[in-house]
């Protein structure tokens, strides 16, 4: 059976997450329903990562095995037709080898978290970013705190209690804080990159860095929290609506 890779973009707001749910809408369920409209009995699809309820993606990657050989462009066009009106789109499609796997072949994942500081409610960005009702945050302090998290560490402090990963030890290759002035308020974008992440790791890190930016924590407090290897030492977990899976890296980019 030919295997296809899909680069998927979605608004996570109406979904209970990526993974198929019995009684709730999911991104996987929407995509599998679209595939079933093209071919019956399509096997369950796999993704590079399972995003939680409310989390968005601009660069999720999924795979499917089909009976028919499709021209990738025609396949993506057909799927986008059947995905309507769900806020899900196939932005790229490619034929891949049968031993290629969306999850296990990946060598890095990239996430971006959006946080907007302003007193007024969000209108156009409602549900697309974390709204923090402050004038701004201390960017320098957050960058200094983020530097303590780079590299290989035991991230138990920044791991959800129900995380199923075998080990809390991960290597964080990038944690950068971008400040973007807006006409009203300031947007902060936190960019994180690693081979893989623990459950809630990104949101836990961003929630803690926000406390540093607000002056409630010092950058040194983040190093202390990391060294504690204790979930109780973590700051608040940032809400899901600001999180985006922006990309997945492979040794050979199937969409190049």
| Residues identified as active-site | 52
Return the structure tokens found at 169: 């030890």
Q: How far apart are CA 180 and CA 183, in angstroms?
A: 10
Are the C-beta atoms of residues 189 and 114 closer than 8 Å to each other?
yes
Are the C-beta atoms of 58 and 89 separated by less than 8 Å? no
Q: How many CB atoms lie within 10 A of CB 126?
A: 12
Residue 241 · residue 57 · CB < 8 Å? no
DSSP 43: P
- Which residue in 222, 195, 202, 154 sits closest to 51, CA to CA? 202
Please state, in angstroms and as integers, the Cα–Cα distance from residue 63 to each residue in 80, 90, 100, 204, following that order.
15, 12, 9, 29
Any idea what the Cα angle at residue 252 is, between residues 113 and 171, rounded to 5°?
45
Determine the distance from the C-alpha atom of residue 225 to the mean position of all C-alpha atoms in its chain, rounded to a whole number.
Answer: 23
The beta strand positions in 24-70, using DSSP E, are: 46-47, 56-65
């Amino acid at each position: 059976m030919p295997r296809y890779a899909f680069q998927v973009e979605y608004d996570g707001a109406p979904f209970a997450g990526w993974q198929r749910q019995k009684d709730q809408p999911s991104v996987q369920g929407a995509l599998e329903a679209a595939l079933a409209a093209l071919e019956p009995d399509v096997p369950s699809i796999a993704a590079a990562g399972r995003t939680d309820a409310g989390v968005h993606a601009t660069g999720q990657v999924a795979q499917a095995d089909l009976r028919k050989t499709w021209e990738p462009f025609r396949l993506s066009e057909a799927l986008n037709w059947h995905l309507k009106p769900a806020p899900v789109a196939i932005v790229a499609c490619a034929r891949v080898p049968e031993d290629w796997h969306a999850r296990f072949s990946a060598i890095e994942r990239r996430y971006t978290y959006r946080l907007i500081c302003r007193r007024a409610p969000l209108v156009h960005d409602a549900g697309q970013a974390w709204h923090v009702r402050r004038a701004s945050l201390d960017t320098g302090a957050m960058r200094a705190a983020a530097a303590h998290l780079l590299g290989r560490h035991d991230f138990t402090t920044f791991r959800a209690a129900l995380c199923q990963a075998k080990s809390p030890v991960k290597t964080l290759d990038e944690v950068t804080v971008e400040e973007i002035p807006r006409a009203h308020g300031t947007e902060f974008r936190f960019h994180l990159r690693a081979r893989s992440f623990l459950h809630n790791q990104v949101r836990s890190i961003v929630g803690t860095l926000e406390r540093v930016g607000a002056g409630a924590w010092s950058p040194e407090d983040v190093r202390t929290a990391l060294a504690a290897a204790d979930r109780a030492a973590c700051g608040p977990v940032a809400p899901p609506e600001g999180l985006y899976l922006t990309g997945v890296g492979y040794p050979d980019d199937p969409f190049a």
